[in-house]
Amino acid sequence: ELLIKKADTRDRSVYRFVHDMVQNTVYQGIEQQERVHMLKEIADTLIARTYEGRRDAILFIIVDLINRVSPSNTPIADDRMRYAKLNLLAGEKAIQTPDFSSAFEFIESGISFLNDDHWEHEYDLSLALFK
């Protein structure tokens, strides 16, 4: 009760931590593998439930989540390619801002999600990330 506060919106209740330090302490208390699973689940839910016209608004949030998951915790090739593509989109958006430092980080993360055989199976994506 003293750590979480309730905020009622139009059609639902939302719970928030009273301070970001409380949230950070709870987050740090979650085991690493469970934290990775939670971040991946949140990212995948946002990807699935965000319609194309609104995706730009939360693109950087999604990419931040998937980059915290990391390629080493993403064994499924299709997920890795999807995450690489999202990093490419975020990098391109950051260049338009222009936030070149963030763009570089997004592109580097996108490259890290590529599979070993990316030049044979994802040539266009690989070319876009490496250009």
| Per-residue pLDDT tens over the stretch 58-101 | 999 999 999 999 999 999 999 999 999 999 999 999 999 899 99
pLDDT score, position 27: 85
* Secondary structure element (H or E) that encloses residue 122, with its range: none
Alpha-carbon span 14 to 33, nearest angstrom: 26
Mean pLDDT, range 117-125, rounded to an integer: 95
Higher pLDDT: 25 or 127? It is: 127
pLDDT score, position 1: 57
Higher pLDDT: 56 or 109? It is: 109
